[in-house]
Amino acid sequence: MRLRTALSAGAAVALVVQCVHPLLPANGSYALSDVVVAAASGYAAYFYRRRMHDDGNTRRVRRAFGCGAVACAIWSLSNVLLLLSVTVLPLVAQAGSLLSTIAAGFVPVALVLASPRLRGIAAGRRALDVAAVFGAIFALAWTFVFANTGSRGGDWTNMVVLVGLLVFSAALALVTLSGAEPGRGATAQQMLAAAALTQALTLIGGLRNALDGAAWYANGVGAGFVLAAWVMAVSSRLAASRPGDGGLDTLVFRAWALLPYAPVVCAVAVGGALQAHAGHLDPVLVWTLLATFSLVLLRQFMTLITIGRMAVVLEEQKDALEHQAHHDGLTGLLNRAAFEERAGGVLAGGDGHVTAMILDLDGFKPVNDTFGHAAGDDVLIVVARRLTAELRAGDLVSRIGGDEFAILLVDAAEQNGEEVARRLLDRISEPIRVHGHAVAIGGSIGLATARAGEGGSLAGLLRHADTAMYAAKAAGKGTVRRHEPDTWPASA
């Protein structure tokens, strides 16, 4: 049976029971409700017990199903005793009420176990949510029920304890329901939460009926008990939800994120109406509302802290990704694409001379062969640092191959380019210690100079520098050669 069909059937049964109650004698109306609730909660207990052994759920969720099974079994038994009390055995009424209170104590435990385990500030937010909602619902219960109880007997005291447990369950229920994700079907936890919320509101309504001297089933209370049991039975057949990731969407974007604030708004509206009508408020209500608002403000403050931290982390991740997109992962120098983009902009938009260099390391392969690739990586990192240290801030340097580097000197005359190139060779030829050994490498550099803004291409300039670099290697390595277009053959 689909969820919508099952809930619609439950609502129809509850409506029928509510309509039949006035037609029955007092004991008959109690008996009808007890029979339906006992059957539905017994059904829920049976299937919750079966879900306890589902290895597809975590141990924590299986324990939650176990608590649900115990709660429903006790609730079913309590209604059986209440049924006996209104038919043949009045003495068991007290035991039935006590069992109802015990069953209510297992519901919040099941809801806590069924919720994802949070730590740190996320756990603090959830605790504040539950406390604020509990305060708001307690304020409503105090206004409509507790403030008018006066001095009543022990049976009423048991009912107040039961209401307190169910109010706590209702607070947990609202916080659980607020985590519903859009576009996903209802889960066992959410339906259990809905059942707990329905039961709490129904019991508060029933106590109010007792204070007003109305029939116990008035104002939809008879239907409420039936609907709560039916929804709990439905929840026992649903799959458990999986823990979320606690991301930013859990703070802002979920469809029911504002649900816990509904009782807060209602409590404020009721307090305002009472103040307007009577000119004063009960001190307990005033302090409860103040405490609730304080919790809400503290919760929002913690949310701002969380969002602020997330914003910082996202900004850092954005910067890191941008750096990775434009830089070599090993040396931290510009990668080929970023170098060509920036160097092309300099060549197209400048007005002075620019000098391109292609540097190829000499003696690098023996380091790899002797000490391994990790040692070779260390050499490349050291070379990159030395190159960066010798160049100006506006110059560009990139690793464009395994042990090949491209350099662009901005506003560099021909003689300055050769001077810088020799200085670079001297610097990188200094010994490098890798894995406890001193290694020496060298390099060969080819130069090509052009005037920025004259329409020359970067690809052509680098090709000329590359040709000069091969000429430097042919001349004995460790040397610098400049591209001379008028004297070099086209085949060079």
**Residue listed under structure tokens 């750096």:** 323
Cβ atoms within 10 Å of 86's Cβ, excluding its own: 19
**Within 115-220, where are the H helices?**
120-144, 154-178, 188-212
**Model confidence at 182: pLDDT above 60:** no
How far is residue 403's CA from residue 400's CA, in Å, rounded to a whole number? 8
Confidence category of residue 489, pLDDT binned at 50, 70, 90: very low
pLDDT tens, residue by residue, 362-395: 989 898 888 888 999 999 999 999 999 999 888 9
**Within 327-402, where are the H helices?**
336-349, 364-371, 373-390
Please tell me the predicted confidence (pLDDT) of residue 462.
92
CA distances from 74 to 78, 89, 165, 203, 228 (A): 6, 19, 15, 17, 15
Please tell me the predicted confidence (pLDDT) of residue 201.
87
Residues 450, 454, 458, 464, CA torsion sign: negative
How far is residue 72's CA from residue 295's CA, in Å, rounded to a whole number? 32
Superfamily in which the 336-482 domain is placed by CATH: Reverse transcriptase/Diguanylate cyclase domain (3.30.70.270)
**Model confidence at 453: pLDDT above 60:** yes
Residues 95-102, mean pLDDT to the nearest whole number = 87
Structure tokens, 198: 């329905």
What is the CB-side half-sphere exposure of residue 201 using CA atoms within 13 A? 19
Give the residue extent of every domain in the chain. 3-314, 336-482
CA distances from 302 to 234, 294, 298, 383, 467 (A): 36, 12, 6, 48, 62
Average pLDDT, the chain: 85
CA distances from 111 to 130, 263, 382 (A): 12, 19, 58
Size of the chain in residues: 492
Q: What percent of the chain has a predicted confidence (pLDDT) above 70?
A: 90
The single-letter code of the amino acid at 427 is R
Cβ atoms within 10 Å of 55's Cβ, excluding its own: 7
Helix (H, G, I), strand (E, B) or coil at 444: strand
Residues 113-139, mean pLDDT to the nearest whole number = 84
- DSSP 8-state secondary structure symbol assigned to residue 22: G
Please tell me the predicted confidence (pLDDT) of residue 148.
66
Residues 393-415, mean pLDDT to the nearest whole number = 86
Cβ atoms within 10 Å of 20's Cβ, excluding its own: 15
How far is residue 402's CA from residue 381's CA, in Å, rounded to a whole number? 12
**Model confidence at 303: pLDDT above 50:** yes
Q: β-strand 353-362 against 442-451: which pairing, if any?
A: antiparallel
